[in-house]
């Protein structure tokens, strides 16, 4: 199935009918998803009545545009393909006519509805004028999408709608936070948040249309004679009024509902219609594409209609079934009341969509044929039927009556048009309705039993649609991309001196050219029908000159020269056998085709069952039996065996000759789940106390909209917390603990996405790419993927690098013989061809990613700057050095202006260790090994061993690539830059962990190169020592197995005190629930340094203080702890937990029974009373509270940037510098005449502003750090 999809999709994307349809379907899906997101946020943040009133305004606006401008959709799709030189005038005239009609219809609507309470908001000249302008904007916005589709530029439509959709979501959120709280008219805010982003998109899109797309279309269709005005009017007369009837049925029904139900009920109706609109839009998009292609190629209309109908049913039937089954779950996202009241209506809308697909495709075919009268009749009858039934059933059945009316209307209409549609789809047997045969008459120079091709000659085809003869090459759509190994060296290219050719990306496993191919013969018998060969056969007919690939032919454009054989005589067809017998026989003879998938699924199920089972000898996990080795000490042997089986099945698939990317990716994800998700399966609550702390920050921002810079330095970089607070509130998440629990696993899956993009751009054996992904999974033990800014910004860092190597990669060919002789082969594939507009959009995206990172984390922005600087220095990016300066200025300005509370007064402590390479290196390695607990030492040394092994093997892998004559500059920069940060950054004791984390993508790739260092090649390898080549996967498998075992030890070695039990949670919640203005919690720490291992509550960070209470090694001497409690003042508690006691045991070498004894001693102290007591925790307080005033709660810190004399000038200089640099970069991307001149002038112009901004930064550091 994977091979079939891989063959079909590229061919579909070459077919304008399916390409346009796919683009419109993607647009519909994305638009519907963003629309659903918009209404989810609106429903969560606004009252239901206000949401309903805003929806009524939007639906009224869309109805007016439908009754006027939307009636020209059919005329645009029908005549734009053939208007030729008059295309621009034709589109402009439609815009003007639609806008004028919309203005008139708006005036009539406002007068008619002046007494309706649902539209009372439009009373007044200003609201009415704004509403009329909005109707015109919406008309143009929708018509521009139709024009793009008619010009075969549908791929731009989802791009525009994605940008507009995100702006809509941001706008409605801003309205909720900034406007609704002040008591303004909420309905207008919901309405304008929908339309303003659309208005902003009208100007750039129409500039693209009239300045670029339409001129190209005019040049391509200059030979066509534009249709006469009479012909256009005759067609539009029927189609316009027919479209008005259809769209009136769509948009008048919501208006009818709005006038007969209350706002809350209308909100239920509107949400159900919005969700169901995803399916309805699919039918429209396929019909639109059919009309466009029918206009370009009328002779192929029947064939295109058949294909469109087949694809529509293939997609819609499972989607409808899914919506019907999951309707309550889908609507529950908006709230329980929406699921209770809107589920029946959503199901009815979904059922009506199947019949609508038949009707819309027939209407699309009628438009392509120019038959306006049937269009009018069908759509008028459907409109009357829909409105009449709605009017009758709505009062009796409520909003469910609207769904019943829709089902009846679409079913009756579909039954009426079905005979004509099937006649249109019936093959006529004509040459224009089928794929032309490429076999000419038999040559008189050959005999009938000849099996060779006599002559091959190029034939110029005057028509499109003929199948081009191509050579099939197998590539990996995941790690190689859709274009396969297009950048691989040609087969005749000689390997570097002294080296043998490396194994092909096509060859794998045994590395022997003489090995037989798995599976059936790879030669297709040309001339056999599908019935003779069967749908699953992959065979080829080969001659000495060409190789004909039946299933994977491309579609050649008209006039292209293709190679056509004079004659190919097919061999005798094999004996016919039933399909299931054939498939069963193939599976029985080829167990490797299915055994790997079966073993993977079985091992995954075995792992889950073993981890979740009741603890016994072989299965189950007893967390209380955990030792200092962490979770691995209690993992059942069956689970460990399952992990080993998953890794072995991965290598079995990797070494097969047949490339199986879907199975390989599934196996990597299965290993990731088994390793990174181990704690999720067995621990009742989220692990890692820091995640709970950051969750508390997020909760405070979500509740108050402010930061507490006085509480924690991380509030100075609130980007992650603000974004998380917004998403949690908008999604209506009640308990964020579940999100914290699954966040590490979600993060690691997300990390794989940009990493796959990165390895796709590398020029390497496909096995090396897959092995690199697996090594990354089993070596990522650092544990920074929890719910934190570092986990999110690490994903942004990988996206940043992936974008650079995909859209801005620079691989310059050697310009002379000597350079080619002595220059290393680039380790990166040549960059893809992209448009100027794409690169400018991606440039803006890069800047946005960097700004988001700079506002969220301290370290990651410096890593981004370093990587970009390395790419510039090693000539691996087309971005200039000025972009590095720009990013450096942004991060310096953010720290200087926005994080004043962090560095003001202690700048020396912040930068004191910068440049101290030896001290930093020691503090990150041997300096962290201070425990004398032997189990703890095993965990610490395992972490150092993993780091050393990965870095050492990466170095050897780099040397092997250099020996092959390959220079991996991108990977080298990604590895070196984080290491250099040891000398450039100061980040306490965790910098070493961050360095390892940021080098891991590069080192994983280089370790994979150690085993597969060669380039992809079609030349069979000739090996000196074939036995050693066969051992490579064995050694690689042993390495991954060892790393997986070490991962469990290193990642979960602290689990004894990092997991939280429900009993501990109950004790903590008891303290947080006390009705006190502020509370102080004393937790026990060792003498000297020591931190908290307690998972604090997600709420109340502003009123609860955590205070360290030093506890001696003697558990019976607790007087010192009691005195510290008395000094803390009233409202103070002592909290003793199992996790904190385990931390003292493992890290501070306290006795194993110290914790229970300490709790008993505290409970017996005469001055204390025990408030909570269970097996894992205890809470104590003084019997007589000390006198004194309870400290007030912390308040949100007012935003300040600090004032100096030059601060305003620095801000202005920084803004001008950013504008100049971005303008310069856009000019460089456009590559117009004069680029070098303007690039140099702007670079010189930016220097004074940079110097002024830098001087102000230094001034602020000197004056405000005192």
Instruction: List, for residues 396-412, the tens digit of each pLDDT value.
Output: 788 888 888 888 888 88
Q: What is the pLDDT of residue 251?
A: 64
Structural domain includes residue 511:
no
What would the pLDDT profile of 1064-1120 be if each residue is shown by its tens digit? 999 998 998 888 888 889 998 887 766 778 888 888 888 888 888 888 888 888 889
Task: Using the 3D structure, point to which of 1146, 1165, 1182 is the last residue of a domain.
Answer: 1182
Domain assignment present for residue 1189? The answer is: no
* SS3 track for 375-426: HHHHHHHHHHHHHHHHHHHHHHHCHHHHHHHHHHHHHHHHHHHHHHHHHHHC
* Domain end (from 404, 428, 452): 428
pLDDT of res. 183 = 44
Q: Which two tokens stand for residue 421?
A: 């549609």
Residue 475 maps to a domain: no
Average pLDDT, integer, range 914-941 = 64
For residue 1049, the model assigns a pLDDT of 93
How far is Cα 451 from Cα 448, in angstroms, rounded to an integer?
Answer: 9
Give the pLDDT of residue 1199. 60
Residue 1043 or 245, more confident = 1043
805 pLDDT above the threshold of 50: yes
Interatomic CA distance for residues 353 and 361, integer angstroms: 12
The per-residue pLDDT for 325 is 83
Q: Note the pLDDT of residue 562.
A: 42
3-state secondary structure of 1108: strand
> Does the structure show a pLDDT above 50 at 446?
no
pLDDT average, residue stretch 1137-1160: 89
pLDDT value of residue 50:
64
Residue 341 shares a structural domain with residue 418 = yes
pLDDT above 90 for 866:
yes
Higher pLDDT among residues 801 and 786, named by residue: 801
Instruction: Mark whether 1021 and 940 lie in a shared domain.
Output: yes
**Strands 1132-1137, 1177-1182: pairing kind:** antiparallel
Strand 456-460 relative to strand 1177-1182, pairing: unpaired
Q: How far apart are CA 1019 and CA 1014, in angstroms?
A: 12
**Are 907 and 982 members of one domain?**
yes
- Is pLDDT of 1188 > 80? no
Which one of 75-79, 685-689, 904-908, 1157-1161 scores highest in mean pLDDT?
1157-1161
- pLDDT (0 to 100) of residue 991: 72
Higher pLDDT, 554 or 170: 170
Mean pLDDT confidence for 723-748: 79
DSSP run (H or E) holding 313: helix 301-332
Count of structural domains within the chain: 4
Q: Residues 192-207: what's their mean pLDDT? A: 77
pLDDT tens profile 590-623: 666 778 888 899 899 999 999 988 888 788 899 9
Indicate whether 867 pLDDT > 50.
yes
- Residues 326 and 222 placed together within one structural domain of the fold: yes
pLDDT value of residue 458: 41
When the pLDDT of each residue in the chain is averaged and rounded to a whole number, the result is 75
Kindly state whether residue 553 falls inside one of the protein's structural domains. no
Mean predicted confidence (pLDDT) in 187-205: 72
Q: Both 244 and 357 in a single domain?
A: yes
- Among 370, 432, 111, 348, residue whose Cα is nearest residue 239: 370
Please tell me whether residues 976 and 1103 are part of one structural domain: no
Please determine, for residue 522, whether its predicted confidence score (pLDDT) is greater than 60: no
Banded model confidence at residue 1186, pLDDT cuts 50, 70, 90: confident
> pLDDT by residue (tens digit) across 623-647?
999 988 999 999 999 999 999 999 9
Is there a single domain that holds both residue 1051 and residue 1105?
Answer: no
- Decide if pLDDT at 523 tops 90: no
pLDDT tier, 1046 (very low <50, low <70, confident <90, very high otherwise): very high
Taking 90 as the threshold, does the pLDDT of residue 927 lie above it?
no
- Better-scored residue on pLDDT, 171 or 108: 108
Reply yes or no on whether the pLDDT at 1002 is more than 80. Answer: yes
Residues 1175 and 1218 placed together within one structural domain of the fold: no
- Determine, yes or no, domain membership for 95: yes
Confidence label for 15 from pLDDT (cuts 50, 70 and 90): low
Residues 420 and 317 in one domain: yes
Question: Residues 1066, 1048: one domain?
Answer: no
Q: Are residues 1070 and 944 in the same domain?
A: no
Domain final position from 1055, 1088, 1123 = 1055
Q: Which residue has the higher pLDDT, 120 or 1150?
A: 1150
pLDDT tens-digit readout, 447-469? 333 333 333 334 443 333 333 33
Percent of the chain residues past pLDDT 90, beyond the cut: 22
Q: What is the sign, positive or negative, of the torsion defined by CA atoms of 91, 95, 101, 106?
A: positive
Average pLDDT in the 958-987 region? 85
Cα of first residue to Cα of last residue in the chain, in angstroms, is 68
Gap between the Cα atoms of 448 and 37, Å rounded: 66
Give the residue with greater pLDDT, 292 vs 1018: 292
Q: Which domain holds residue 806?
A: 599-1055
Is 545 inside a domain boundary? no
What is the predicted pLDDT for the residue at 211?
80
- Give the residue-averaged pLDDT of 281-287: 72
Top-confidence range, 222-231, 306-315, 805-814, 1240-1249: 1240-1249
Question: Full-prediction pTM beyond 0.75?
Answer: no
Do 260 and 299 belong to one domain?
A: yes
Residue 577 counted as domain residue: no
Q: Per-residue DSSP letters for 23-40? A: HHHHHHHHHHHHHHHHHH
Angle of the 399-425 helix axis to the 336-369 helix axis, nearest 10: 30
Q: What is the pLDDT of residue 174?
A: 64
Q: Higher-confidence residue: 38 or 500?
A: 38
Q: Averaged over 658-687, what is the pLDDT?
A: 91
Note whether 552 and 7 are within 8 A (CB): yes
Residues 204-209: contacts with CB within 8 Å, 24+ apart? 205/144, 205/148, 205/156, 205/160, 206/140, 206/144, 208/156, 208/837, 209/91, 209/144, 209/147, 209/148, 209/151
Averaged pLDDT, 1-25? 55
Q: Has residue 915 been placed in a domain?
A: yes
1191 neighbors 1078 (Cβ within 8 angstroms): yes
Question: What are the start-end ranges of the E strands in 1185-1244?
Answer: none
Q: What is the pLDDT of residue 502?
A: 39
């Amino acid at each position: 199935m994977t091979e079939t999809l891989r063959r079909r999709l590229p061919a579909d994307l070459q077919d304008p009918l399916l390409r346009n349809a796919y683009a419109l379907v993607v647009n519909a899906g994305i638009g519907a998803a963003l629309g659903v997101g918009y209404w989810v946020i609106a429903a969560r943040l606004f009252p239901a009545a206000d949401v309903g009133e805003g929806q009524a305004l939007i639906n009224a606006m869309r109805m007016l545009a439908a009754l006027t401008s939307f009636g020209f959709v059919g005329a645009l799709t029908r005549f734009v393909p053939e208007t030729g030189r008059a295309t621009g005038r034709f589109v402009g005239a439609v815009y003007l006519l639609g806008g004028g009609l919309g203005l008139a219809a708006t005036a009539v609507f406002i007068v008619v509805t002046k007494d309706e309470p649902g539209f009372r908001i439009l009373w007044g000249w200003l609201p009415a004028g704004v509403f009329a302008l909005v109707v015109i904007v919406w008309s143009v916005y929708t018509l521009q999408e139709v024009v793009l589709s008619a010009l075969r530029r549908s791929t731009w439509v989802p791009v525009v709608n994605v940008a507009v959709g995100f702006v809509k979501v941001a706008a409605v959120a801003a309205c909720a936070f900034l406007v609704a709280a002040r008591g303004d008219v909420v309905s207008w805010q919901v309405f304008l948040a929908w339309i303003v982003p659309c208005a902003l998109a009208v100007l750039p899109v129409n500039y693209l249309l009239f300045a670029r797309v339409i001129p190209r279309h005019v040049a391509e269709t200059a030979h066509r004679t534009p249709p006469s005005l009479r012909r256009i009017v005759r067609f539009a007369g029927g189609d316009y009024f027919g479209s008005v009837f259809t769209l009136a049925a769509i948009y008048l029904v919501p208006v009818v509902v709005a006038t007969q139900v209350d706002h809350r009920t209308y909100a239920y109706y509107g949400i159900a219609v919005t969700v169901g609109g995803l399916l309805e839009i699919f039918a429209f998009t396929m019909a639109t594409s059919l009309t466009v292609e029918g206009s370009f190629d009328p002779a192929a209309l029947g064939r295109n209609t058949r294909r469109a109908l087949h694809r529509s049913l293939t997609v819609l039937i499972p989607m409808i079934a899914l919506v019907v089954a999951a309707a309550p779950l889908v609507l529950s996202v908006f709230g329980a009341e929406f699921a209770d009241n809107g589920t029946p209506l959503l199901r009815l809308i979904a059922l009506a969509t199947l019949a609508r697909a038949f009707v819309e495709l027939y209407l699309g075919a009628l438009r392509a044929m120019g038959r306006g009268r049937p269009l009018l009749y069908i759509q008028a009858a459907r409109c009357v039927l829909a409105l009449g039934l709605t009017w009758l059933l709505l009062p009796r059945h409520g909003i469910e009556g609207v769904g019943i009316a829709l089902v009846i209307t679409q079913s009756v209409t579909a039954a009426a048009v079905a005979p004509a549609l099937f006649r249109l789809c019936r093959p006529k047997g004509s040459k224009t309705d089928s794929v032309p045969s490429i076999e000419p008459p038999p040559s008189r120079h050959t005999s009938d039993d000849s099996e060779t091709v006599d002559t091959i000659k190029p034939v110029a085809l005057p028509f499109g649609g003929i199948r081009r003869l191509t050579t099939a090459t197998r590539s990996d759509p995941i790690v190689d991309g859709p274009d396969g190994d297009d950048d691989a060296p040609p087969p005749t290219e000689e390997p570097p001196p002294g080296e043998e050719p490396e194994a092909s990306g096509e060859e794998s496993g045994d590395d022997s050219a003489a090995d037989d191919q798995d599976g059936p013969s790879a030669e297709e018998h040309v001339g056999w029908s599908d019935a003779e060969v069967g749908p699953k056969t992959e065979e080829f007919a080969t001659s000495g000159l060409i190789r004909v690939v039946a299933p994977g032919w491309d579609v050649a454009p008209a006039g292209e020269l293709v190679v056509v054989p004079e004659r190919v005589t097919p061999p005798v067809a094999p004996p016919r056998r039933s399909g299931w017998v054939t498939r069963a026989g193939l599976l029985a003879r080829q167990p490797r085709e299915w055994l790997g998938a079966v073993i993977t699924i079985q091992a995954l199920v075995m792992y889950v069952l073993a981890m979740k089972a009741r603890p016994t000898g072989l299965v189950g996990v007893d967390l209380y039996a955990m030792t200092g080795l962490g979770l691995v000490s209690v993992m059942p042997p069956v689970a460990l065996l399952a992990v080993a089986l998953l890794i072995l099945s991965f290598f079995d698939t990797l070494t097969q000759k047949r490339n199986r990317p879907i199975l390989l990716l599934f196996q990597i994800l299965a290993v990731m789940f088994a390793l990174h998700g181990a704690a999720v399966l067995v621990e009742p609550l989220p692990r890692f106390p820091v995640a709970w702390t950051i969750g508390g920050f997020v909760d405070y921002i979500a509740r108050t909209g402010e930061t507490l810079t006085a509480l924690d330095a991380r509030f100075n970089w609130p980007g992650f917390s603000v974004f998380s607070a917004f998403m949690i509130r908008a999604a209506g998440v009640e308990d964020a603990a579940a999100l914290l629990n699954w966040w590490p696993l979600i993060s690691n899956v997300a990390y794989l996405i940009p990493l796959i993009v990165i390895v796709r751009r590398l020029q390497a054996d496909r096995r090396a790419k897959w092995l690199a992904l697996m090594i990354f999974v089993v070596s990522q033990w650092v544990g920074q993927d929890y719910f934190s800014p570092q986990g999110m910004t690490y994903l942004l860092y990988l996206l940043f690098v992936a974008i650079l190597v995909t859209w801005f990669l620079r691989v310059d060919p050697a310009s002379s013989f000597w350079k080619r002789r002595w220059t290393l082969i680039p380790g990166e594939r040549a960059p893809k061809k992209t448009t100027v507009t794409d690169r400018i959009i991606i440039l803006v995206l890069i800047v946005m990613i960097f700004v988001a990172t700079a506002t969220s984390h301290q370290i990651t922005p410096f890593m981004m700057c370093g990587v970009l600087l390395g790419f510039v220095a090693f000539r691996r990016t087309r971005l200039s050095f000025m972009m590095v300066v720009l990013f450096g200025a942004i991060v310096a300005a953010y720290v200087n202006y926005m994080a004043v509370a962090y560095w003001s007064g202690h700048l020396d402590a912040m930068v004191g260790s910068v440049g101290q390479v030896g001290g930093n290196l020691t503090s990150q390695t041997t300096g962290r090994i201070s425990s004398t607990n032997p189990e703890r030492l095993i965990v610490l040394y395992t972490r150092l061993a993993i780091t050393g092994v990965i870095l050492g093997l990466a170095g050897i892998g780099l040397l092997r690539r250099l020996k092959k004559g390959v220079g991996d500059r991108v990977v080298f920069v990604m590895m070196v830059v984080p290491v250099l940060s040891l000398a450039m950054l100061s980040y306490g004791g965790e910098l070493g962990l961050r360095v390892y984390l940021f080098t891991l993508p590069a080192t994983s790739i280089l370790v994979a190169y150690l085993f597969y260092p060669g380039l992809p090649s079609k030349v069979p390898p000739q090996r000196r020592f074939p036995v050693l080549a066969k051992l490579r996967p064995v050694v690689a498998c042993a390495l991954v197995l060892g790393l997986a075992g070490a991962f469990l030890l290193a990642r979960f070695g602290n689990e004894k005190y990092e997991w939280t039990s429900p009993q501990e949670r109950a004790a903590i919640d008891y303290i947080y629930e006390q009705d006190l203005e502020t509370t102080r919690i004393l937790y026990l720490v060792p003498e000297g340094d020591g931190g908290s291992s307690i998972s604090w509550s997600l709420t109340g960070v502003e009123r609860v203080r955590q205070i360290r209470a030093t506890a001696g090694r003697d558990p019976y001497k607790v007087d010192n702890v009691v005195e510290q409690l008395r000094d803390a003042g009233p409202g103070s508690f002592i909290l003793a937990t199992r996790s904190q006691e385990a931390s003292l045991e493992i890290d501070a070498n306290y006795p194993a029974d110290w914790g229970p004894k300490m709790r008993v001693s505290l409970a017996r102290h005469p001055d204390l009373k025990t408030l909570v007591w269970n097996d894992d925790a205890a809470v104590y307080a003084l019997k007589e509270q000390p006198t004194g005033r309870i400290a007030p709660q912390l308040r949100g810190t007012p935003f300040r940037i600090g004032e100096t004399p030059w601060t305003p000038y620095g801000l202005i200089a920084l803004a001008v510098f950013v504008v100049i640099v971005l303008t310069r970069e856009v000019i460089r991307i456009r590559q117009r005449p004069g680029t070098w001149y303007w690039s140099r002038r702007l670079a010189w112009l930016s220097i004074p502003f940079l110097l002024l901004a830098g001087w102000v930064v230094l001034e602020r550091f000197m004056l405000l750090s005192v």
